[in-house]
Chains A and B, each alone.
Chain A
Amino acid sequence: MLNTFQQGEHALLPRATHDERARQNFAKGLRGYIQREVLPGLTPLFSGVSAKARAKGDELATRHDVRKAMRREPYFQSYAGLNRTAQELLWLSVIDAIEHDWNRLSAEVEARAGQGGELRIPENFDVPRYVTALDIHCMPGGYASAADPAQFAAGALYERGVYLYAMGYGGPFNDGKGRSVCNYLLKHLPGFEPARILDMGCSVGHSTLPYEEAYPDAEIWGIDVGAPLVRYAHARAAELGSKVNFAQMNAEHTDFEDGSFDLVVSHIMLHETSGKAMPKIFEECFRLLRPGGWMVHCDLPPFDLMDPLTQFILDNETYYNNEPFWGAMREIDQVSLAKKAGFEADTVRFDTAPMVIQAYADESAKGYDKDAASAVADREFKAGEYAPGGGWEVLIARKGA
């Protein structure tokens, strides 16, 4: 099935020229191609490599052993190098468009000041080192890039870049993860009606906006450490008719009061924090929740039940895509961490929130016809592909009533 998914148009989306769009399309298609056609070769390659090692009396028992052996193999070198190049081209193809569309874009952002929900960006803010030490997932400039005085470019880059990275699987507005978690909550916590919801590490609000649809009466906040992200998120939300509020805050210690939320969520945030920050974030979630409130983190499942090859493939993100906490986070016992933070022990669990791509099939968005959406929904995603397992892992926990 050909992937012709197209991102939903809106005024804040960088407008690309014909050639820029073609370059972006190339990067998106290349990612899909590598995952579909090149990645599967790693399994037979590993069979041979591990057999050879075994013959010499070596057992490739850990993902680190696998890495040491595999990175000598030309096929793996091509795979990993190509994957990295695809990632780099993806961002570069968007940066060109942002620069050439700059005047229009900055006017659109500016025009949305005072519209939509609240936007809080403090004068002085310390962006944590784990976000600035490396440009995460090779996004040039990172989340808190100061390259543009108008301070929204990183948001525009993330908005388009992540759509290409996800190859459209997150839907025309890239809100798949948020929708998945909302569906999960509506199904598993019927009658739960949060009055106030916090989305931590919200980036440009992709996953935040669906909560407005699921819980229309709730007051919703999205926070992130990147000022360009929340500024862009606010403008984007206003453009899309949302009243979600955004603020630059650190999930380890927010400015909100004790017991002021019923639901605290995050989507692919934890793996971009650190071993030091994660326990603090769980404690902060506990502090922020009212008794009976829920914490839900949608992120990477732990390594513990995976074989070393699968672990190694997933861990490539750590080594080759500037995701410094990706592997280490999967070794942390998140369930214990949640219990230690004070959450009710018997409510803490991992679960899967299925992907929602079929929900887009009826929408008018380009490329999302029933067959294409079903093809993605029915596909068995493997390690190294986007959304391995076909769903999002959620860690869920309740604060005792």
Chain B
Amino acid sequence: MTDTPHLPRTVRGKRPAFHPTEGVDEVMSMVVVLAQEMAVLRERFDTAERVMAARGIDLATEIESFEADDDVLRAREQALQSFYDRLFYLQRQRRSELENKYSDEAFVETLDKVATGDI
């Protein structure tokens, strides 16, 4: 028995840039990985349904006929809205910048002022 090695996960050789805008390659690969994880979860849930079915519980049908009561509806809607907040955290930041008139110029100006002791 040997200790589990840490196998390499990076590749010798420069990875080409495919998209001309910097960062898009990274974003694209992250999107595909997220899609992969979504497929993984879907498949896992599919297995769960089938395991339950084999034990006599028709989870798929029960899910379809499930009636959410008011408490469930509220809890789910809250979860959904919180998810949007997390998903669109950057849009929220951008909006606040528009509303507060934050700018790159103002940012640099602040750095200067802090450095020179103006504020």
Contact = CB atoms under 8 A, between A and B. Distances in A.
Interface of A: 18-19, 22-23, 25-27, 30, 72, 74, 77-78, 80-82, 84-86, 88-89, 92, 95, 98-99, 102-103, 106-107, 132-135, 138-142, 145, 147-150, 153, 157, 319-320, 322
B16 A102 contact: no
Interface string B1-35: 11011111111110110111000010011001101
A74 B19 CA distance: 7
Contacts of B36: 23, 26-27, 89
A18 B47 CA distance: 9
Contacts of A132: 12
Interface residues of B, number: 29
A224 B112 CA distance: 63
Nearest to A27: B36
B109 interface: no
Contacts of A98: 7
10 contacts: A26-B39, A78-B18, A84-B16, A95-B7, A134-B12, A140-B7, A147-B5, A153-B7, A157-B7, A322-B13
Contacts, number: 105
B53 interface: no
A356 to B, nearest CB: 30
A150 B29 CA distance: 32
A319 B7 CA distance: 25
Contact of B5 (A80, A82, A138, A149): A149
Nearest to B19: A77
Contact of B8 (A80, A102, A141): A141
Interface in B40-95: 40, 43-44, 47
B84 to A, nearest CB: 26
A147 B12 contact: no
Contact of A77 (B4, B18, B33): B18
Contact of B7 (A22, A88, A133, A145): A145
A81 B15 CA distance: 10
B58 to A, nearest CB: 21
Nearest to A72: B20
B32 A138 contact: no
A19 B19 CA distance: 30
A98 B29 CA distance: 23
Chain A to chain B: the 4 pairs with minimum beta-carbon distance, closest first: A81-B18, A134-B13, A141-B8, A148-B5
Given A88-B29, A320-B16, A141 B44 contact: no
Contacts of A106: 1-2
Given A26-B36, A89-B33, A81 B25 contact: yes
A19 B12 contact: no
Contacts of B6: 99, 147
A106 to B, nearest CB: 5
A135 B12 contact: yes
Nearest to B46: A22
Given A19-B44, A81-B28, A319-B16, A99 B4 contact: yes
Contact of B2 (A18, A95, A150, A157): A150
A25 B43 contact: yes
A26 B43 CA distance: 10
Contacts of A319: 16
A156 B119 CA distance: 62
A135 B28 contact: no
B4 A103 contact: yes
A140 B8 CA distance: 6
B11 A135 contact: yes
Given A19-B44, A77-B18, A81-B18, A140 B11 contact: yes
Contacts of B7: 95, 98-99, 140-141, 145, 147-148, 153, 157
A289 B25 CA distance: 49
B2 to A, nearest CB: 5
Nearest to A20: B40
A171 to B, nearest CB: 24
A138 B16 CA distance: 12
A99 B5 CA distance: 7
Contact of A140 (B9, B20, B28, B40): B9
B39 A22 contact: yes
Contact of A322 (B11, B33, B40): B11
Given A18-B44, A140-B9, A80 B18 contact: yes
